[in-house]
A and B are shown apart, each in its own frame.
Chain A
């Protein structure tokens, strides 16, 4: 299966600084699609989407299994949802997300189940991320 490369985001005012590995993705529901930036976080056990993203996708809050996160999201109500996720030119793939009621959390792609479905190489020194479906 072919891989695709994504560039680490750069601040035009600080071109030599390396930022966190955010990539553009498209989340889709039966109602609409939403483009957003997602953080590739191999240190996160789960995928996460913030409250407003789930609402914009038209997801029904509180009607799916509740799950319990940790860290700053520990006390925030969270439910599991499945969302069709498109990354680059790859075919859309259903991923499971922890939909948190936090408004500040970014979209996070973590071990369950993004890194279960995609292989990722971080060439941070070259400012490149390479992704391929498993």
Chain B
């Protein structure tokens, strides 16, 4: 319930404040992955953070519309179309 209320309070925050909060919560989540002598270092696939915290993080996390730096197939397709004239100009 507390986290639901927090979501509503977070929504109107500025992007800068959201990013600050995001970094704080990310550090909090990271600290939950405790490494001890008995348990080996948890890989990303093993770590199960609190779902409520994850939902809160996703509500404030920056939403990039890219990275398009790994859009290799799209670039290759466009490049081939450019060379073949396969896409007419509208």
Contacts and interface: CB of A to CB of B under 8 A. Distances in A.
A67 B65 contact: no
Nearest to B77: A67
B63 interface: yes
Interface of A: 29-30, 41, 43-48, 57-60, 64-65, 67-73, 78, 80-84, 94, 96, 98, 102, 104-106, 108, 110-113
Contacts of A71: 64-68, 70-71
Interface of A is mostly: loop
Given A29-B90, A96-B87, A46 B67 contact: no
Interface in B58-81: 63-75, 77-79, 81
Contact of B66 (A59, A64, A73, A112): A73
Interface of B is mostly: loop
Contacts of B71: 44-46, 68-71, 98
A108 B88 contact: no
Contacts of B69: 43-45
A113 B87 CA distance: 13
5 contacts: A68-B74, A70-B70, A71-B66, A72-B64, A82-B87
Contacts of B66: 41, 43-44, 48, 70-73, 108
Nearest to A60: B90
Contact of A45 (B65, B75, B82): B75
Given A29-B90, A30-B90, 13 more contacts: A45-B74, A46-B74, A58-B90, A64-B87, A67-B73, A67-B74, A67-B78, A68-B73, A70-B67, A84-B89, A96-B81, A108-B66, A111-B75
B45 interface: no
